[in-house]
Structure 1
């Protein structure tokens, strides 16, 4: 497991024992990814690779901040990197370089991507099917882009979901299903984004940020919503039927948060434990997100978590 605060990254090799170990004060961690014993930690355009107990740093000279990571191959290590500016790169550890994915730059819908404040759009999250063939890139703001050939060519998904997507997710047990939490709550597609079902029943608000899926049950979901982009009454919800109905999470979990429970602040690990970061607390559930306990607290708010 990898955990980040604004200034420090931590690794937790056995979340059921001990405590997280500080990797280094690398400052302003922007993205995390983990698969097996490999972890990626991004700051600006610098990438730190953790493999077992070894660390290698790479200055990628992208001239853009990294905003999303997805490990695509382990031997040799390769990863997709999303950036502010909504560009996509393929990182290769052997060469130590990141190559721009030109077909992603050539998407004609790029001209419609934007942000509410007038800044550059960004790739906010990345996800892939369990076989690695289908890859999704969440554009903030600009819907979701899909590749069905492991990232070589790209196209937009069906645009019937809300364009302001804050996180995209997949489930190893359902390779054709993709999930999105948006500024208008949750959408689910069972055909790789060719059609979408809006899933908001039971939510107290529609402004969504984070979403996570149980690795062995594609119907078991977690999602966060609040009153808006600045937060206000942020809540966590769970569903056992693919979001057709949501239940407010309150047993051992804060019933309401001042801030948003943000993108990449909830996750399921491969054992089916649910994790969530709320302020300086890391909270865990081992019963499909029904009952929660505080697993760890740290000296500043936790900004990102990821589980392998």
Structure 2
């Protein structure tokens, strides 16, 4: 992976640094955060990881304000989990003096990790955090302090939520640019829950999503949902990657339809939507829950351009030999460029990028630690 010394740049005004970076790529790994910057079509990576030896499970690039803010959910084996923020594209990081995310004493539990950091679509200063144990937190100061969303924590179904193989984590938050009161979350393994009153009440939203591992394969809740994303043109249209099954909802999650036909496997972890083009989404199929390698041992992203009626494999520039790099739920993303950048990282420590909606790919990094999450955004 190419290195880039930024010391000379950092001596100048931060605005100049931001102006020189066209696209920012943040790669959270088992042993730190790696940051890549595209300038003039060329990718360069900062030297060494930030948060060395910390597992970085979540990253957000918040471009809503005058200056982008980066948020990272790190997990130190010694100090525990925390949320950090940077207002200079990763030049320097701030950790609040008091924990940004903390379970109140009366809950009888403690924070294990922050699975998700999500800038709200309709509220400029609001950031949501999803955690393990499964809970939703809300910040109104761009991620510096968070408050527990009590009604979801106290949901009457909670006592029946069961941790999945990766733990009991709230790993997905989807907000609606039309209505700040509408929020959709996904929990492993409780399924999808939705509020339309700003979090005062929550309802399971899993109709049509299968739970093949349960005696009743069609429960109201208890599905092992791996990831949910929102269509760019139709906000009520959602795409869902399940523990077996790829689904679409056209009514904000009230009902789901299986759209997995045409994929080599419907098992997988990640799903991402195109940032501008409606009906377009990406998945990375995995062989099976008991065989967690790329489907048919081939490194391929699959794209639908018709809301799941058909799928096409995208592999130009990707490894052609047998491949065993699993892509986790937050390790596939798009940026907001046009044409869109598409990115994914895998558990082999490889990172790949496309600058043309997924039509062709290049490898940006190899031999990194286990890639846990990937986020990218246009910042210059």
Q: Normalization by structure 1: what TM-score?
A: 0.89
Which structure carries more strand by proportion?
Answer: 1
Question: Which residue of 1 is the match for residue 85 of structure 2?
Answer: 49
Deviation at 1:302, TM superposition (A): 2.5
1:129–1:172 CA contact under 8 A, matched in 2: no
1:125 aligns to 2:193 (yes or no):
no
1:31 aligns to 2:58 (yes or no):
yes
1:78 aligns to 2:138 (yes or no):
no
Question: Which residue of 1 is the match for residue 343 of structure 2?
Answer: 275
Bigger radius of gyration, 1 or 2? 2
- Which region of structure 1 is more displaced relative to structure 2, 135-144 or 106-115? 106-115
Cα distance, 1:76–1:128 mapped onto 2, change above 3 Å? closer
CA–CA distance in structure 1, aligned partners of residues 37 and 315 of structure 2? 28
CA–CA distance in structure 1, aligned partners of residues 117 and 164 of structure 2? 23
CA–CA distance in structure 1, aligned partners of residues 139 and 196 of structure 2? 19
Q: Normalization by structure 2: what TM-score?
A: 0.73
Deviation at 1:18, TM superposition (A): 3.9
Cα distance, 1:273–1:156 mapped onto 2, change above 3 Å? same
Deviation at 1:29, TM superposition (A): 0.9
2:353–2:361 CA contact under 8 A, matched in 1: yes
Question: Which residue of 2 is the match for residue 203 of structure 1?
Answer: 263
Q: Aligned to 2:312, which of 247, 259, 265?
A: 247
Q: Aligned to 1:296, which of 360, 365, 370?
A: 365
Deviation at 1:140, TM superposition (A): 0.3
Deviation at 1:212, TM superposition (A): 0.7
2:350–2:368 CA contact under 8 A, matched in 1: no
Deviation at 1:141, TM superposition (A): 0.7
1:258 aligns to 2:309 (yes or no):
no
Structure 2 residue matching 1:108: 3-state secondary structure: coil
Deviations 1:44-79 (Å, cap 9, x if unpaired)?
430001223453213234421211221227987432
Deviation at 1:110, TM superposition (A): 2.0
- Which region of structure 1 is more displaced relative to structure 2, 180-189 or 295-304? 295-304
Aligned residues: 307
2:175–2:183 CA contact under 8 A, matched in 1: yes
Cα distance, 1:8–1:282 mapped onto 2, change above 3 Å? same
Question: Which residue of 2 is the match for residue 109 of structure 1?
Answer: 157
Question: Which residue of 2 is the match for residue 8 of structure 1?
Answer: 32
Structure 2 residue matching 1:103: 3-state secondary structure: helix
CA–CA distance in structure 2, aligned partners of residues 159 and 107 of structure 1? 18
Superposition pairs for residues 224-243 of structure 1, below 5 Å?
Answer: 224-229=284-289, 230-234=291-295, 235-243=300-308
Deviation at 1:116, TM superposition (A): 4.5
1:143–1:159 CA contact under 8 A, matched in 2: no
Deviation at 1:26, TM superposition (A): 5.6
Structure 1 residue matching 2:93: 3-state secondary structure: strand
1:80–1:89 CA contact under 8 A, matched in 2: yes
1:177 aligns to 2:230 (yes or no):
no
CA–CA distance in structure 2, aligned partners of residues 126 and 257 of structure 1? 31
Question: Which residue of 2 is the match for residue 137 of structure 1?
Answer: 185
Question: Which residue of 2 is the match for residue 98 of structure 1?
Answer: 146
Deviation at 1:275, TM superposition (A): 1.1
Q: Let me know the Cα RMSD of the aligned residues.
A: 2.6
